[in-house]
Amino acid sequence: MNARADKLVYDLAQRSLVLTGNARVTHQGNTFEGAKVEYNLDSRRVDASSEGDKRVRLVIPAKNAGQASEDAEPEEQDNGEPAQDAPAAQPENAETP
């Protein structure tokens, strides 16, 4: 976790961080920004709130290309063959030895 703000208060009894003034928390690749961001160390819950006309901003990065959906075509291995065993295609007019 990485956090920054104009003011940061660590509440030992509540096990929480309260960030105020240009608050920004980056946790597990996600970024939370707002006038006030609260982070609970036990539940790992982040709550962000706005002030005036400023908005809360949440950035969640896209999944890596390696985490393709189940509907995707099988990836090719380094040897150029499909990852799944598939029968070799034969042209209709091909003679077999």
Q: What is the DSSP string of 38-57?
A: EEETTT--EEEE--TT---E
Per-residue pLDDT of the chain (97 residues; tens, 9 = 90+): 898 999 999 999 999 999 999 899 888 888 989 999 999 999 988 888 888 777 888 888 887 655 545 444 444 444 444 444 444 444 444 455 5
- Contact between 68 and 78 (Cβ < 8 Å): no
User: Which pTM value belongs to this model?
Assistant: 0.56
pLDDT at 67: 53
Instruction: Please work out, in degrees rounded to the nearest 5, the angle formed at the alpha carbon of residue 34 by the alpha carbons of 33 and 38.
Output: 90
